[in-house]
């Protein structure tokens, strides 16, 4: 899902197609930190295994001159679904948070209609050779939390194989979920590795 053409980030966390949960709200400003400078630049890559299999991304990330704590992204995403290959150009913003030692990147798409400008949350890891892996929230786990009433949200239309989850909880409730959860269990939808694109 050339998920956010930036890290998509997003990501997407971007992006992003319907296989990673989206949120109407971002995260609390109290946890906001400066952007991780390693994200800045051009990225290319995708997944051949895992939950986001078939996603491909090209993205460029730059510091927003008007909001230095934001990174702006522009790029493309391609992903496969039961309807074939999908493509779109994307724009978005990345914000960084530290929640109880968990470094989280929040990615918001800025293209499309206002009601589509939702957030996606991921943790990330840089590897050898300047590669980047993103791990978005686990859809089955979030769906179970919503069904059990432990988190406010709903399932929107979409393909049966890829439920489209929308978290409607307030930012502090989302932060509490991140703080109280094992990151390896909450963030499982891998995107990457992405590699720096020298072109």
Q: Is the pLDDT of residue 160 over 60?
A: no
Distance between start and end Cα atoms, the chain: 21
**Could you tell me whether strands 22-23 and 102-109 are parallel, antiparallel, or unpaired per DSSP bridges?**
unpaired
Structure tokens at 112: 């499309």
State the number of CA atoms in the 13 A half-sphere of 196 facing the CB: 10
pLDDT at residue 2 in the model: 35
pLDDT at residue 58 in the model: 86
For tokens 């194989």, what's the residue? Answer: 161
- The predicted model gives 91-113 an average pLDDT of 92
- The predicted model gives 41-55 an average pLDDT of 67
């Amino acid at each position: 899902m050339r998920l956010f053409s930036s890290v998509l980030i997003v990501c997407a966390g971007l992006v992003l197609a319907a296989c990673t949960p989206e949120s109407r709200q971002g995260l609390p400003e109290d946890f906001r930190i400066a952007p991780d400078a390693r994200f800045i630049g051009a990225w290319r890559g995708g997944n051949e295994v895992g939950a986001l299999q078939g996603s491909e991304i090209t993205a460029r990330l730059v510091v927003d001159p008007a909001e230095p704590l934001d990174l702006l992204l522009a790029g493309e995403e391609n992903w496969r679904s039961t309807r074939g290959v999908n493509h779109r150009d994307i724009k978005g913003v990345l914000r960084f948070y530290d929640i109880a030692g968990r470094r989280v990147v929040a990615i918001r798409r800025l293209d499309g209609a206002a009601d589509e400008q939702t957030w996606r949350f991921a943790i990330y890891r840089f590897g050898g050779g300047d590669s980047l892996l993103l791990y978005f929230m686990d859809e089955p786990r979030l769906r179970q939390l919503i069904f059990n009433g432990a988190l406010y949200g709903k399932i929107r239309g979409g393909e049966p194989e890829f439920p489209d989850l929308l978290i409607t909880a307030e930012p502090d409730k989302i932060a509490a979920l991140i703080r109280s959860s094992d990151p390896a269990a909450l963030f499982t939808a891998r995107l990457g590795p992405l590699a720096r694109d020298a072109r």
